Structure 1
Amino acid sequence: MRSFWSRQRRFPLLSLPADAINTAAAQLPLLIVASRFGAETAGLLAMTMRILGAPIGLLGKSVLDVFKRHAATSFRERGECRSDYLRTFKVLAFGSLAFCAVMVLASESLFALAFGEDWRGAGTIAVWLLPLFALRFIASPLSYMVYIAGKQHVDLFWQIALLGMTVTSLSIPSNHQLALQTYSAGYSMLYVIYLAMSYRFSLGVRS
């Protein structure tokens, strides 16, 4: 038991707080937007996040299952899994670009057609948040690289930065459009950093 705890201590000590912070950061946008810009804007945002988040939940989990099996085996046997990482990244990037092309061209019309004209505004918000969700679709499965490489402390620092960015970006701008666009830009920047870090971990670089 002592040996097992020594090997796995990073999960309860670092991963649990990181997951808790991530959950808080995921709920804060709706709460802040509702308190600052009203229930209608919060409702449109909630619809947007639910619809754009669906592909990540469905397809991302399937890709994650394949990636973590192959990447973990490669990392254990060779000390790196760069080829598995890049192969998965290319598949996710292609899917993300295809999704973005459709949403940029027809987001508002699709929301109005599917849910009624009252929800056209959710399509507008979807365009603002598209960079965020496009990068999330890529980064979410590849984030498992943090666990494979045993870098949970890095994930914790990233989640703290995410929480701070979320509160700041949604609390300071004076209107909901600027607030959501700032939030999308800040989240996207953090995802780019996360992807760079996870790629470095896939090389087997120890730090």
Structure 2
Amino acid sequence: MKHKLRRQILTLLQGTVVAQLLPIIIAPILTRIYTPEQFGILAIYMAVISVLTPIVNARYELAISLPKQERNALALFALTTKINLVVTGIATLIVLIFKNNIIQIFSLEDGVWILLLPIGLFLTGLINSFTYINNRMERFNYLAKSKVYQASSMVFMQLGLGILKFGSFGLVMGYIVGQCLSILNLNRKLSIKQKITEEKIDKELILKVSKEYNEFPKYAMITHSMESFSAQTPNLFLTKFFGAATAGYYSLTNRTISMPLSLVGKAIGDVFLSNASKLYRERGECKGIYTKTLKALAVIPIIPFTILFIWGEELFGLVFGQEWEVAGSYMRLLLPAIYLQFISSPLSHMFIIAKKIKIDLVIQIVVFILSIGAFLIGNFYFKSVEFSLVLFSIVLGIKYISFIIISYSLAKGVSRSRVDEENDYN
């Protein structure tokens, strides 16, 4: 088990590292082609997509790893696709009707990104569904390659459209093209339609699994919507209170630090979810694999984080251009929270594995309120971007420490009889 776990993590990490090298290499060029305001538009686009992502599949994709029978997992995949189509259709109508209102809410002049929202939302839903079905089938090599294809196609499209002066539209289109390439690879040799046909996945079975796992739309969808909104609070509120350029500076921090780390964490989290789910179903606990994963997550970012904390502002100015030094100062304020996020996020799968989504919901409600409060206080009382980010970093730090403590408790397990009952049910 130990060697298999290490091999699976390394497979995903290799893909993740390669996927992140290109954006990091190209980023200094992009920051000299696109303005902070244009990066701010991309940040708003991705923030809205992120907030709506938990709704697009009603979070049923999270349940794909849980059923013992392959047929039920395929039914869940089919269910997520149907929900995705409905939600995207509704989103399209809303965008067409309320386009001007949405532009006014964010105080932006450039609104072309709004028309692309339904496309990005639909593709995001598909990626999530395909990711979890690939995870269940342990197709980690395809998961790794999909990250490479998505990142490489995204940055080269953004670079080409930037040279042609497409502005913020080029940044958003690059993101969409990357999603398309990712889906094509995740679906490669999967034959998902054929499997659904062979297993005779009908409406009756889809309805059955939708009821059996209805705790996911009831609790996980709301929980993760609040979590996404809390995480995107800086992009949304910085744009509204301090302008798109400020959001652009923050987004560079996210693009070059948080996103690469989150993808590394997701690679580890994907493997942790696959293996911990099996162990928890069989033994009722997964403390061993939890502890090993926790130690690895705590060690990986120490050296780069120390360097960034000491010389972050100077490095940002040197690499991305002098006008981007502000992004380095923002990054320094957020580093403690980013470190704790890297550790806790992959391990938070324990809430799903142990079916304790209600606990996660309570935490997210509190964080949701505190995150909004951080920026309201920072703007109206202190009128300071920096103070807003410090308050937000403290809120996130408390959240992630709570996640680590509670998820470890869940990993220690439940009684044997309860495990048998849940296995029989699934």
* SS in structure 2 of the partner of residue 56 of structure 1: helix
Map 1:98-113; keep pairs closer than 5 Å.
98-113=303-318
Higher relative contact order (CA 8 A, sep 6+): 1
TM-score (norm 1): 0.91
| Cα distance in 2 between the residues matched to 1:205 and 1:109 | 50
For structure 1, the residue ranges without an aligned partner over 5 or more in a row are none
* SS in structure 1 of the partner of residue 300 of structure 2: helix
Q: Which moved more, 1:185-194 or 1:19-28?
A: 19-28
Whichever residue aligns with residue 390 of structure 2, its letter is: Q
Deviation at 1:47, TM superposition (A): 1.4
Aligned residue among 144, 147, 151 for 2:352? 147
| Cα distance in 2 between the residues matched to 1:24 and 1:196 | 23
2:334 equivalent to 1:129: yes
Deviation at 1:205, TM superposition (A): 4.7
| Cα distance in 1 between the residues matched to 2:386 and 2:268 | 33
Hey, what does 2:214 align to over in structure 1? 9
Hey, what does 1:195 align to over in structure 2? 404
* SS in structure 2 of the partner of residue 172 of structure 1: helix
* SS in structure 2 of the partner of residue 204 of structure 1: coil
Deviation at 1:3, TM superposition (A): 6.1
| Cα distance in 2 between the residues matched to 1:139 and 1:128 | 19
Whichever residue aligns with residue 353 of structure 2, its letter is: I
| Cα distance in 2 between the residues matched to 1:3 and 1:42 | 44
Runs of 4+ deviating beyond 6 Å:
none
Hey, what does 2:322 align to over in structure 1? 117
| Cα distance in 1 between the residues matched to 2:395 and 2:344 | 15
* SS in structure 2 of the partner of residue 140 of structure 1: helix
Q: Which moved more, 1:4-13 or 1:118-127?
A: 4-13
Q: Which moved more, 1:107-116 or 1:148-157?
A: 107-116
Aligned residue among 264, 274, 282 for 1:77? 282
Is the Cα–Cα contact under 8 Å of residues 170 and 179 in structure 1 kept in the other structure?
A: yes
Hey, what does 1:179 align to over in structure 2? 388
2:351 equivalent to 1:169: no
| Cα distance in 2 between the residues matched to 1:116 and 1:16 | 40
Deviation at 1:198, TM superposition (A): 0.6
Aligned residues between the structures: 206
Q: Which moved more, 1:138-147 or 1:7-16?
A: 7-16
| Cα distance in 2 between the residues matched to 1:103 and 1:68 | 30
| Cα distance in 1 between the residues matched to 2:247 and 2:223 | 26
* SS in structure 1 of the partner of residue 220 of structure 2: helix
* SS in structure 1 of the partner of residue 301 of structure 2: helix
Root mean square deviation, CA, Å:
1.8
Deviation at 1:30, TM superposition (A): 1.8
Whichever residue aligns with residue 272 of structure 2, its letter is: F
Hey, what does 1:138 align to over in structure 2? 343
2:226 equivalent to 1:21: yes
| Cα distance in 2 between the residues matched to 1:33 and 1:5 | 38
Residues 6 and 39 (structure 1 numbering): CA distance in 2 closer, same or farther, change over 3 Å? closer
- Tell me which structure has the larger Cα radius of gyration: 2
Aligned residue among 80, 84, 87 for 2:292? 87
2:244 equivalent to 1:39: yes
Deviation string 1:135-163 (CA, Å, 9 cap, x unpaired) is 11111111111100001111111221121
